[in-house]
Amino acid sequence: MNEFSINTRMTKKEYAKVVLIGLYKKVGFIISTIVGLYLLITVILDYSKVINYYSDTPYYEFFCGLFILIAPLLITIISVGQFNSNLSFQNSIKYTFSDMGMTVEGTTFKGEFLWEHIIKLKEVSNFLILYHTKTTGNFIDKSKLTKEQLQFIRTKVGEQ
């Protein structure tokens, strides 16, 4: 395929949405949410005398359940804070894709990645995340890509 480029600018709201959806797709967060709901529901039912589950006032269970439920929101708030602290992320970023790899250009940086160095592709909401380390990746807006371009990226990452 011929070389092609797209320009994207991710907003704080889009970033928060992608992070939150990405967290809730993980099995650990799904299980912990169920546990947190279980703890809060049993506390509420015990307090309203529907069930007699706890012999003492279940402060520990209430606060643990509440913390477990709001933990993904806290992680998202921290991530958005980091996103806001780096001005490079808030400007337009140009992604250029070729048969060899991907080039990322911002106002103050430029990076080149061979397809061999893209270790994982993840699709969350309206974004592709191309990971080049376990924790670092690039967010590509799927709405700015044609079906052929999207398939090209998927096959290039899948070849490795």
Could you report the per-residue pLDDT of 21-59, keeping only the tens digit for each? 989 888 999 999 999 999 999 999 988 888 888 888 899
Query: Please, which pLDDT band fits residue 98 given cuts at 50, 70 and 90?
Result: very high
Regarding whether 92 and 72 lie in a shared domain, the answer is no
CA 28, CA 68: separation in Å to the nearest integer?
Answer: 11
125: domain CATH number?
2.30.29.30
Task: Name which residue leads in pLDDT, 71 or 158.
Answer: 71
Do residues 37 and 68 both lie within one domain? yes
- Model confidence pLDDT, tens digit, residues 109-132: 899 999 999 999 988 888 889 998
| Residue 65 in tokens | 């359940």
Average pLDDT, the chain: 89
Strand residue runs (E) in 9-152: 93-97, 101-105, 110-114, 120-124, 127-131, 137-141
Grade residue 87 by pLDDT with cuts at 50, 70 and 90.
Answer: confident
Report pLDDT for 6. Answer: 92
| Nearest one of 153, 76, 83 to 120, comparing CA atoms | 153
Q: 85, 101, 129: which is the final residue of a domain?
A: 85
Same-domain status, 152 and 101: yes
Angle at 74 between CA 9 and CA 58, to 5 degrees: 160
Q: Is the pLDDT of residue 159 over 70?
A: no
Asked if residue 103 and residue 68 are part of one domain, the reply reads: no
The reply to whether 154 and 94 lie within a common domain is yes
Question: How do beta strands 127-131 and 120-124 pair?
Answer: antiparallel
Q: Among residues 62, 85, 108, which one ends one of the domains?
A: 85
pTM of the predicted structure, to 2 decimals = 0.76
| pLDDT at residue 20 in the model | 92
- The residue segments making up the domain with residue 55 are 12-85
Tell me, yes or no, whether 33 and 98 share the same domain: no
66 lies in the same domain as 39: yes
How many domains, the chain? Answer: 2
pLDDT at 25: 87
Query: CA angle, corner 11, sides to 113 and 92, nearest 5?
Result: 50
